C-alpha cells in the first residue's frame, strides 16, 4: 500500500509539474510574440556598405537586405580587435562570406581575429601563396577553426536572386607577376544600384576585366590599391563610371596614395570622392534605387579606433626567418614600400627609379630582408 500511495503521489506530482511546464511554455511563447511585435527590426531593410577606417588598408562590411553579411578584407593586424568590436556593435554574430582579396598585410592582417570571433560560412580567397608570417597566421587560423578556403574565380556567383546579385569578376588567371593582380574583385548589384570592390587589382587585371565582358558598371567604386597610379586606368574607370568613389587610405602615408593622377581621372568622371583618411568610416546605403552616404569622421561611434599597437614580432616578416633578438618591436605603422626583383633598395610606390615590376611589402619587412632605403625617393 505504501508503495502504491507513493506511486500515486509521484503521478500527481508529475501531472502538476507537466501542467506548470505547459503554462510556462505558453507564457513564454506569448511573451516572445509580444517582444517581436514591440522590437523594431534593427537590421537594415536595404543594402548597407561600411568602408571602415583602418588607416592604410582595406576593410569593407556589406550588410545585405536579407541580413546576410559579407566582409572584404580586415586591415593590418593591429586593427583586428577594433574590427571585431565594430561588428559586435552592429549586433553582428556571424559572417556569411569572408573575402580575403589577396595576401598583403594591409588586407589580411586583422582577419585572424575576425575568424576567431565569428562563425563563418564561406571564405573566399585567390589561389596564390605568400611567405609572410601574416599570411601563414591567416592560414593557420582558418585551419584551426576547421574551416575551408573556397578558391575565388572570375565568373563565380555568390548569389543571384534577381534583385540582388554578387559576382566575382577577377582574378581571371592562375598566375600573375604582381600579388595585387590576384585580388578578388566583386561586383554587387542591388536593384538599379551597383558596387564594385576591387582590392588592389592593377592594370593587368583591369585589362582582363575590360576584355571579359563581365558587368563592371557601378555607382560606387572602391578605388583599387588605395588610389595608386598603377591601378584605376582611364579606360577601366570609364567602364565603371562611378558617381561615388571611395578610397581606403591612411593619412600621410609614405608612398603618396592616393595619387594625383587617379584623383584627376575620377574628377574627370565627376565622381564624388570619399577618403577614409579625411572622412573616417564611410557608409553607403542603397534602397535599390537611390544611394545615401554617411561619414563618421573623427572617430564618432561606431567608427573603429585602432587598438593599441601590439608588440608584434611577426608583423609581416618572412615566415621562414624567425625574428632575431634585435627585432622585437616593429614600427607601429610600418609603411608599405616597393622592391624590384633585381634592386637592393626599397622605394616609395611613386619613385621614378622603379622601372620594372615592383613588389609591395612593409618597410620593416624590406629592412629585415636586407634592403636599404632608396636615396632618390627617401622612403
Ligand atoms: Zn596589395
Ligand atoms: Zn593594399
- Same domain (yes/no): 125, 259: yes
CATH of the domain at 83: 3.60.15.10
- Are 114 and 191 within one domain? yes
For 198-238, write each residue's pLDDT tens digit. Answer: 999 999 999 999 999 999 999 999 999 999 999 999 999 99
Q: Which domain holds residue 196?
A: 47-299
- Report the C-alpha gap between 126 and 130 in whole angstroms: 11
More confident: 297 or 152: 152
Domains held by the chain: number: 2
Q: Taking all residues of the chain, what is their mean pLDDT, rounded to a whole number?
A: 82
Predicted confidence at residue 361, as pLDDT, reads 74
Q: How confident is the model at residue 377 (pLDDT cuts 50, 70, 90)?
A: confident
Give the least confident one: 41-45, 95-99, 108-112.
Answer: 41-45
Position 44 confidence tier, pLDDT thresholds 50, 70, 90: low
Q: How far apart are CA 309 and CA 318, in angstroms?
A: 20
The mean pLDDT value for 355-364 works out to 71
- Ligand 1 centroid–CA 118 distance in Å is 25
- How many angstroms is it from 130 CA to the middle of ligand 1? 11
80 Cα: distance to centroid of ligand 2 (angstroms): 16
In this structure, the answer to whether residues 101 and 226 fall within a common structural domain is: yes
- Whether the CB-CB separation of 186 and 166 falls below 8 Å is answered with yes
pLDDT in tens, 162-173: 999 999 999 999
CA 348 to centroid of ligand 1, rounded, Å: 14
For the CA atoms of 356, 362, 367, 372, what is the dihedral angle to 10 degrees?
40
Residues near ion ligand 1 (Cβ under 5 Å): 104, 180, 200
Identify whether 8 is part of a domain: no
**pLDDT for res 53:** 96
pLDDT band at 310 (very low <50, low <70, confident <90, very high): very low
DSSP 230: T
Pair 367, 377: CB distance under 8 Å: no
Distance (Å, rounded) from C-alpha 203 to C-alpha 146?
A: 36
Q: Which ligand is nearest to the CA of 255?
A: 2
Residue 80 sits in the same domain as residue 191: yes
* HEC per residue, 164-213: EEEEEEECCCCCCCCHHHHCCEEEEEECCEEEEECCCCCHHHHHHHHHHC
pLDDT value of residue 373 = 85
Residues listed for the chain: 379
Amino acid at each position: 500500500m505504501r508503495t502504491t500511495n507513493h506511486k500515486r503521489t509521484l503521478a500527481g506530482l508529475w501531472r502538476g509539474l507537466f501542467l506548470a511546464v505547459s503554462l510556462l511554455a505558453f507564457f513564454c511563447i506569448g511573451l516572445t510574440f509580444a517582444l517581436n511585435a514591440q522590437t523594431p527590426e534593427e537590421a537594415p531593410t536595404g543594402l548597407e556598405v561600411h568602408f571602415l577606417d583602418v588607416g592604410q588598408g582595406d576593410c569593407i562590411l556589406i550588410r545585405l537586405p536579407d541580413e546576410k553579411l559579407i566582409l572584404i578584407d580586415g586591415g593590418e593586424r593591429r586593427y583586428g580587435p577594433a574590427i571585431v568590436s565594430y561588428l559586435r556593435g552592429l549586433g553582428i554574430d556571424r559572417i556569411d562570406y569572408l573575402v580575403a582579396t589577396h595576401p598583403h598585410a594591409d588586407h589580411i592582417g586583422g582577419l585572424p581575429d575576425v575568424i576567431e570571433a565569428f562563425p563563418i560560412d564561406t571564405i573566399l580567397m585567390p589561389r596564390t601563396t605568400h611567405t609572410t608570417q601574416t599570411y601563414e597566421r591567416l592560414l593557420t587560423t582558418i585551419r584551426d577553426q576547421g574551416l575551408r578556403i573556397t578558391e575565388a574565380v572570375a565568373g563565380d556567383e555568390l548569389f543571384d536572386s534577381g534583385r540582388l546579385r554578387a559576382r566575382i569578376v577577377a582574378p581571371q588567371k592562375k598566375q600573375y607577376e604582381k600579388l595585387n593582380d590576384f585580388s578578388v574583385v566583386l561586383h554587387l548589384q542591388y536593384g538599379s544600384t551597383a558596387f564594385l570592390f576591387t582590392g588592389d587589382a592593377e592594370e593587368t587585371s583591369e585589362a582582363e576585366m575590360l576584355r571579359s565582358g563581365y558587368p563592371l558598371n557601378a555607382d560606387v567604386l572602391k578605388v583599387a590599391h588605395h588610389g595608386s597610379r598603377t591601378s584605376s586606368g582611364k579606360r577601366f574607370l570609364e567602364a565603371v563610371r562611378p558617381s561615388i568613389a571611395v578610397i581606403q587610405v591612411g593619412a600621410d602615408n609614405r608612398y603618396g596614395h592616393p595619387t594625383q593622377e587617379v584623383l584627376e581621372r575620377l574628377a574627370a568622371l565627376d565622381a564624388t570622392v570619399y577618403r577614409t583618411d579625411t572622412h573616417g568610416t564611410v557608409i553607403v546605403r542603397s534602397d535599390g534605387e537611390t544611394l545615401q552616404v554617411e561619414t563618421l569622421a573623427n572617430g564618432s561611434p561606431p567608427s573603429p579606433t585602432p587598438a593599441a599597437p601590439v608588440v608584434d614580432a611577426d608583423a609581416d616578416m618572412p615566415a621562414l626567418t624567425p625574428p632575431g633578438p634585435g627585432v622585437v618591436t616593429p614600427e607601429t605603422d610600418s609603411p608599405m614600400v616597393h622592391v624590384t626583383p633585381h634592386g637592393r633598395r626599397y622605394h616609395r610606390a611613386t619613385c621614378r627609379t622603379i622601372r620594372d615590376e615592383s613588389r609591395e611589402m612593409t618597410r620593416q619587412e624590406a629592412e629585415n630582408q636586407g634592403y636599404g632605403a632608396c636615396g632618390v625617393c627617401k622612403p
